[in-house]
């Protein structure tokens, strides 16, 4: 189940997520896109625990997952599902590894951040691309304490119908993704650590011995 769900998020885009510090500029003098860019800027690294819910259109929960997430800009990304199904998706910005220990296999693909969709754009802070592809609405819901931003694609063929980001005290607390098929994905972030050193080799993967290696990278 989780492989089919993560594929459009992390193969076509790379899953999404972000939090950081805010400079405290007055929101009344800012457009929503400017404030979102401020909130998504000013970080080098992030790591957090993530609770992921996959929900059907009726509101029923299809799957709940426990995830470890690490990010190092510009392109280092680490997304490790702990439960219920172990899986690791990691990239250094050049190569993407998808390790599935239950299947004793790793799939290797080339990664091109420039071709990614919303999640990777948010992760890398590429707001010019986001502004070009999405309308951005929202802003403060409690003055200086809570923020909500709604992103809707300009292209009807987008994977997403709507993406909503929630911040508390300038820190990302959750992302809600409405997919075009009615399915929804919800990420909730805990135990954030921002701008602590993360080694480059965290975003590389060396396959264990005696597993199948499916190399689609063409390298």
Q: So what's the pLDDT on residue 117?
A: 53
- Judge contact between 159 and 6, C-beta under 8 A: no
Q: So what's the pLDDT on residue 181?
A: 81
The secondary structure element, H or E, covering residue 5 is: helix 2-6
Q: So what's the pLDDT on residue 114?
A: 58
Exposure letters 123-150 (e unless 16+ CB within 10 A, then b): bbbbbebbbeebebebbbeeeeeebbbb
Closest CA to 107 of 2, 15, 199, 7: 7
Q: So what's the pLDDT on residue 25?
A: 32
> What DSSP line would sit under 71-89, residue for residue?
EETTTEEEEEEEESS-EEE
- pLDDT averaged over 10-residue windows placed end to end, the chain, 219 residues: 42 35 36 87 85 88 93 89 94 93 94 63 73 88 82 86 88 87 90 92 94 88
Task: Please state which CATH number belongs to domain 2-215.
Answer: 2.50.20.10
């Amino acid at each position: 189940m989780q492989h089919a769900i993560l594929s459009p998020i992390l193969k076509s885009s790379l899953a999404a997520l972000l939090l950081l510090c805010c400079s405290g500029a007055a929101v009344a003098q800012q457009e929503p896109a400017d404030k979102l860019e401020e909130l998504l800027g000013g970080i080098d690294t992030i790591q957090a625990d993530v609770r992921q819910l996959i929900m059907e259109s009726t509101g029923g929960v299809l799957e709940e997952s426990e995830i470890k997430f690490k990010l190092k800009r510009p392109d280092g990304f680490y997304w490790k599902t702990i439960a219920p199904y172990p899986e690791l998706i990691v990239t250094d910005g050049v190569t993407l590894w998808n390790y599935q220990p239950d299947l004793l296999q790793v799939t290797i693909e080339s990664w091109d951040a420039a071709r990614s969709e919303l999640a990777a754009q948010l992760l890398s802070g590429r707001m010019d691309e986001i502004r070009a592809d999405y309308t951005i609405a929202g802003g403060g819901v409690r003055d200086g304490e809570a923020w909500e931003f709604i992103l809707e694609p300009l292209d009807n063929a987008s994977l997403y119908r709507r993406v909503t980001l929630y911040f508390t005290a300038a820190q990302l607390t959750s992302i809600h993704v409405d997919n075009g098929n009615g399915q929804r994905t919800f990420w909730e972030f805990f135990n954030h650590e921002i701008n602590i050193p993360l080694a480059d080799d965290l975003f590389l993967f060396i396959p264990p011995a005696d597993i199948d290696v499916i190399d689609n990278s063409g390298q």
